[in-house]
Amino acid sequence: MPVLTTHSIIDFPIGNLPLCDHHAALGAEWQCHENAWIAMEDLSGLEPTRPVVLIDTQGTPLAWTSAHGSEGGERVLAVQSFLIRYSWELLRANESYLATLTHSEILGTVHPGVSILRGYVRLAEGAELLPGVVIEGNVVIDSGSKIGPNCYLRGLTSIGPDCHVGNAVEIKNSILLFHACVGHLSYVGDSILGERVNLGAGTITANFRHDGKNHRTMAAGKLVDTGRRKFGAIIGDDVHTGIHTSIYPGRKIGARASTLLGEVVRQDIPAVMDEKAS
């Protein structure tokens, strides 16, 4: 995903942990395709001491027993695991991981007036929830991030380090990477915000078609069915939006691009060449 972020898939944060760390957590008995999301449910009941290969519907090996490799052995069809081929599938991986949380861990500062209505919240040391924040999790928030006042976090949402989510902002089922800023009066739903993104006041991501069908979006010159009924935007590193920007569902804004005030994003916006690389 070089157009959107400097992260490769293997080091992209899922629930604020790099994908490679999730792979390592499976144990030394298993090896994985570097771009695969592996759900523990698919490995439960499999015996790692014998040759086993977890495959997707296209026959691609996703995980296999370390001692035997990916070529031979029993081939087991994955139910919850998948290969991350497109950027929006990172949302699916994030949803899969956060849905497995079983407890809250509050290490940061929670001011009076914060309401955690349901779900689990993991608030890292150095993160801060200001008055008026309402959370319906599961939500993870990394160190240095300041949330609020008076904002709403819901769904399965990951907020990375040093982010700012401010007044009258709603974040739903999304991923915010390092130093993303959604300062005020905005809605971000089923979306990914890259590093150092700054959304101008009133920026809105639409995420639902009027006919309720799956969203389709352009990928490698083709219109692809994302399999998602709710899909907002993929916004690359260092993007700035002007105030009152409205973004059609399933649109992608490439790294370092920007929008004018009041702009309606109907089509994907390409990345802007990095001056340092030119």
Sheet of 30-32: strand order equals: 30-32, 61-65, 52-55, 74-77
Active-site residue flag, 184: yes
What does the alpha-carbon distance between residue 222 and residue 246 come to, in Å, rounded to a whole number? Answer: 24
Q: What are the residues facing 167 on neighbouring strands?
A: 184
Torsion of CA 18, 24, 26, 32, to 10 degrees: 90
The closest of 263, 271, 259 to 246, measured between CA atoms, is 263
Q: Which residues of 31-42 are buried (b: 16+ CB within 10 A; e: fewer)?
A: bbbebbbbbeeb
Annotated catalytic residue, options 184, 215, 240, 244: 184
Specify whether the CB–CB gap between 258 and 239 falls below 8 A: yes
- The size of the chain, in residues, is 278
Which residues are tagged catalytic?
184
